[in-house]
A and B are shown apart, each in its own frame.
Chain A
Amino acid sequence: AQSVTQLDSQVPVFEEAPVELRCNYSSSVSVYLFWYVQYPNQGLQLLLKYLSGSTLVKGINGFEAEFNKSQTSFHLRKPSVHISDTAEYFCAVILNQAGTALIFGKGTTLSVSS
């Protein structure tokens, strides 16, 4: 069975600093990878996804992630964060086959302060 591990439960950073949120997955078959963001008391919104092709994926709000198959990682990065980036971020994986559902990591809370 596949699983997703987000290595940091909380990441505090100062405004305009770079940030990396780490995600590792395990699966015996090929997968698709996603990052979602959740603002307080709201549903989740897709940030970016990796299906195939270039391993560097760019998403909304200046975020990007790099798929590393050998290290089974899909870390999320942003070169300069804003206060408005404060939210919870979820890494997710789904098997590359029909009839399965998305599996989420436990989330990383990004707190940006001035």
Chain B
Amino acid sequence: DGGITQSPKYLFRKEGQNVTLSCEQNLNHDAMYWYRQDPGQGLRLIYYSQIVNDFQKGDIAEGYSVSREKKESFPLTVTSAQKNPTAFYLCASSVGTGTNTGELFFGEGSRLTVL
């Protein structure tokens, strides 16, 4: 079945450590996104990529980094510079530009807890 796979589902990190969240899709979608979800805050855009080897910062990119070396993969690294990284992280993909751009397909999410 086609879909988006995020791993790990749960992750614990000590302060000062970098951690990478994996996101893989087999939907052949051009665009991929990372959102952060905090209680009462909705979803906030971290980074997005419309095409391989290109990505743009979202509203809260500070302390995060991404790469898009392959169409199906869009890993997110939460660096030690991120002041408050404990959150639920959601990866999504869409067909690309045009009217389908808004129809996102989401993974199951990764919950990161900093100890």
Contact = CB atoms under 8 A, between A and B. Distances in A.
Given A43-B90, A46-B104, A104 B43 contact: yes
A42 B37 CA distance: 12
B102 A92 contact: yes
A63 interface: no
B43 A90 contact: yes
B103 A34 contact: yes
Contacts of B99: 32, 51
Interface string B30-59: 000101000011111100101000001010
A41 B109 contact: yes
Interface stretch (A13-21, A67-75, A94-102): A94-102
Given A90-B42, A101-B45, A45 B101 contact: no
Q: How large is the interface on B (under 10, 10 to 19, 20 to 34, 35 or more residues)?
A: 20 to 34
B98 interface: yes
B42 A42 contact: no
A103 interface: yes
A10 to B, nearest CB: 10
A63 B98 CA distance: 25
27 contacts: A32-B99, A32-B101, A32-B102, A36-B104, A41-B108, A41-B109, A42-B109, A43-B4, A43-B92, A43-B107, A43-B108, A43-B109, A45-B106, A49-B102, A49-B103, A90-B42, A90-B43, A94-B101, A94-B102, A98-B97, A98-B101, A99-B97, A100-B101, A101-B56, A101-B101, A102-B101, A107-B40
Contacts of A94: 101-102
Nearest to A45: B106
Interface string A27-44: 000001010100001111
A9 B40 contact: yes
